Structure 1
């Protein structure tokens, strides 16, 4: 029953998405009369209705796999008068990840984020300004800056787990969400918010998160209660962050956090960032990072605790690191945790936090699939990169249904052997996730501490993806029993 409900929700989601994309499309679709290439195989009408049994019984992921197996790496689903072209595999993904903004764009599709973060950043501003703001984000998360975030992360992790008893049972999914918000408030927003107004900040931010739903995606500005709460929360959060910025400037206080780096950033023309821009960028960064890190952490925990051999390997690695460095952790030591890194990477391959990525075709393009066939994709089509299928391709990954972090070890390195865009769980190309290194770092710090200090056992069933969510996550709770201990160094 749960799977059927989830699948039906996904069907409704597709309906909503195609409806809103029709609203933003640039008129009726016309093929380039000069181009003689055919369009991709198309699913429409009765064939589309035939998908419903698979969707209802197996779910959206299995449905997409079936379509890929039947039609190949490029195919189109027509719904009413809107065409959505799905891309699978590295060959078909090149234009998606490397195409120019004039060819494939993010903008219109992400309009729902504008009332969440304000009119001064992201998809509310022109492309060049958005790219400069992206540069601010990337520069704030470079290795030189990441090193300064290790100690604050460690402090938050140690303080959080100190509240656990000698033994007990917890919902690990909830614990990760709470802890990652604490880390975000400390490393991204700063100690003023973390120490003085964390509870208020979290409550308001949660109201912004609630604004991410199918209705708000369709009509971002419709005055329904959830959107009104979202708008009020953004205004209050902007006021809080504005006060922090003004206080720092008044007292000439400089902190080691991302907020400070945004304050100090300047555009190419020499203009400094405004308080509204800084606030919007911080809210957008927390939103993007919290979801992906919490989801990836939960899947990593579920996978590790379900595979004793890799749990033992991760424990042995921590034991070796303790023996080598005692209890010291820094950026360089974290980089030596290759087994743990690969476990996180493998969980993200099998269960990507963003199972699909979406663009809009701005002018007629040509896409080539693994099979060697070339197709014409017309202006106005929606491009969907099926990340959840990319990571499960058997010609790239041996036994893709098996949790096997060793596939990323030197010599094997299946993702590199497969070629560029074989691994897309963190995006790629022009719009690769700028926070990937930050995400790995905080997740490794969390699991390193847990493995060193707790004996953990999964007592709930392995979760399934919750397709009723706008951004899917592990369904239900991840119940884990723990018993405190200290991992010996030998």
Structure 2
């Protein structure tokens, strides 16, 4: 039996250390017991109490998900400070994540860090009723009739860009497509005025905005640091530039075939008394649109090329398809010709499956909900949890995709159609209520670029096939040199 009077003889700091150790041991023990008992709550993956969750996130999201999935399966919770992050990995458990409305699963709370970049009064700075109307404006700007007008601009920008290449040379695809995507965006999104007169200025300002989106910005978006000061200055200058362009178009009654014009012509139906968008809202939505697509499209363009170059059969099939399309439709890269390119589309989709730019998608649970994993076990996710799913991890689950680490575009061809075996198996463009509205825009943009390249160049890798750069906010390939040679006769 312990004589408690002996404790009075111990130094006070030692008593604190001992008490803390006992408390942590008790918490850890209770956590282990809780995970082993029958329960509807997700198992907790933490390790050391209070700091274990932080340490697991610090090790990187892919390692965290791999370790958690190996230990607990498709559903588990990681406590981080005062928040609980619950992971739903794979199509069997992510249905509610994608299908629930904003009253049940909300984007606003987890993406509010974008407000200093996008601006006040748009997207994540408004309630879901206003956001729903603004998303309709995005959808209107990206409907099929508008896309048909954008395709010639995609093609022209690509042709002009690659015309500056020599007969042979070396490039880094990540840099190449980052430059080209901002050029296509400047014409189809920001407008003729920007592309013709002030592209360099606007591109520099968007670069400062981009550099103001740091990992620390997710937690402290208003932290007084140089990157945020530059972000705020750039945001103010962009607002001034676009206000002048908008006013000039209104004064001259000019109508252009770009997304800026679509936003100028948009008016609310159910909120704000049916008024038109003001200049600040238009600027914010332009910025949000560019941020939603610039990195994802440039990264997917790079991976599409890298995977096709590595896989000679995939490259040969894409080349043969170009010849067939030219024979059938002529040399013009129209929207109909691009839509015919199923092989190129599958190569792109498989690249996006293997290398999605967005590692995690997040929602805030506004109400509890139940999920059932592939083994038939049901869990109830509590209200208040931050819920995460991961294209990068889910796309490589062997019970969803056969040989998931292999590049195999034929997995999308009937009768295999592995992406359709269960809803939300392929989530490269998200899915459900908040699926990427710009997916068709991105597909046509990337097909346009790669059609120009396939018809005019041959490629080979100089460096080994690159790894993913998980240090970036949006994950692309690490630097990789590619050698190009211009074809003597274009396809």
Same fold (TM over 0.5): yes
The 5-angstrom pairing of residues 327-476 of structure 1 reads 327-416=331-420, 418-475=421-478
- 1:451/1:487 contact within 8 Å kept: no
Cα distance in 1 between the residues matched to 2:94 and 2:305: 30
Shift of 1:55: 8.4
Match of 1:294 in 2: 298
What is the deviation of 1:69?
3.1
Question: How far does residue 256 in structure 1 lie from its aligned partner after superposition?
Answer: 0.4
Residue 71 of structure 1 corresponds to which residue in structure 2? 72
Q: State the match for 1:484 in structure 2.
A: 486
Match of 2:92, SS? helix
Match of residue 8 from structure 1: none
Q: Find the residue that maps to 2:194 and give its secondary structure.
A: helix
Is this contact kept in 1: 2:45–2:53, CA < 8 A?
A: no
CA deviations 1:376-431 (Å, max 9, x no partner) are 21122111102112111222211111000111123221111x12111111100110
Which stretch shows the higher mean deviation, 323-332 or 259-268?
A: 323-332
Q: 2:25 — aligned with what?
A: none
Q: Over residues 296-355 of structure 1, what are the superposed CA-to-partner deviations in whole Å (9 max), with x where a residue is unaligned? A: 111112111111111111111111112222311111110110000000000000111112
- Structure 1 residues 50, 141: closer, same or farther in 2, change over 3 A? closer
TM superposition shift of 1:367: 2.1
Distance in 1 between residues matched to 2:45 and 2:149, nearest whole Å:
51
Task: Tell me how far apart the structure 1 counterparts of residues 359 and 429 of structure 2 sit (CA, whole Å).
Answer: 10
Q: Secondary structure at the match of 1:92?
A: coil
Give the conservation status (yes or no) of the 8 Å contact 1:51–1:63.
no
Q: Which 10-residue stretch deviates more, 69-78 or 191-200?
A: 69-78
* Pairing 1:87-486 to 2, within 5 Å after superposition: 87-269=88-270, 270-416=274-420, 418-475=421-478, 477-486=479-488
TM superposition shift of 1:63: 4.3
Which residue of structure 1 aligns with residue 5 of structure 2?
none
Alpha-carbon distance in 2 for matches of 1:487, 1:435: 34
Structure 1 pair 486/341, CA: closer, same or farther in 2 (3 Å)? farther
Question: Cα RMSD between the aligned structures?
Answer: 2.0
* Displacement of 1:61: 2.5
Query: Is 1:73–1:87's contact at 8 Å kept on the other side of the alignment?
Result: yes
Is this contact kept in 1: 2:189–2:260, CA < 8 A?
Answer: yes
Equivalent position of 2:87 in the other structure: 86
Give yes or no for contact 2:368–2:380 (8 Å, CA) kept in 1.
Answer: yes
Q: Residues of 2 paired with 1:359 and 1:486: CA distance?
A: 52
**Residues 319, 488 of structure 1: 8 Å contact kept:** no
Shift in Å at residue 51 of structure 1?
11
CA deviations 1:246-286 (Å, max 9, x no partner) are 01111111000000001001111421111111111011101
Provide the rounded CA distance (Å) in 2 between the counterparts of 1:149 and 1:81: 46
- Structure 1 residues 53 and 182: CA distance shift in structure 2, 3 A: closer
- Report the CA distance between 1:60 and its aligned residue: 4.2
**Residues matched between the structures, number:** 450
CA distance in 2, matches of 1:440, 1:487: 27
List alignment gaps of at least 5 residues for structure 2. 1-37
Contact 1:73 1:371 in 2 (8 A): no
In structure 1, the residue matched to 2:19 is none
SS of residue in 2 equivalent to 1:468: coil
1:88 offset after TM fit, Å?
Answer: 1.1
* Cα distance, 1:486 vs structure 2: 5.0
C-alpha change, 1:245 and 1:357, in structure 2 (3 Å) is: same
Structure 2 distance, partners of 1:206, 1:364, is 40
Instruction: Report deviation, 1:81.
Output: 4.4
State the 1:365 CA deviation. 2.0
SS of the residue corresponding to residue 336 of structure 2 reads helix
Greater Rg over alpha carbons, structure: 2
Inter-CA distance 321–459: structure 2 relative to 1 (3 Å threshold): same
Q: In the superposition, relative to structure 1, how do residues 229 and 393 fare at CA in structure 2: closer, same or farther (>3 Å)?
A: same
Alpha carbons of 1:86 and 1:46: their partners in 2 closer, same or farther (altered >3 Å)? same
125-134 vs 71-80, greater mean Cα deviation = 71-80
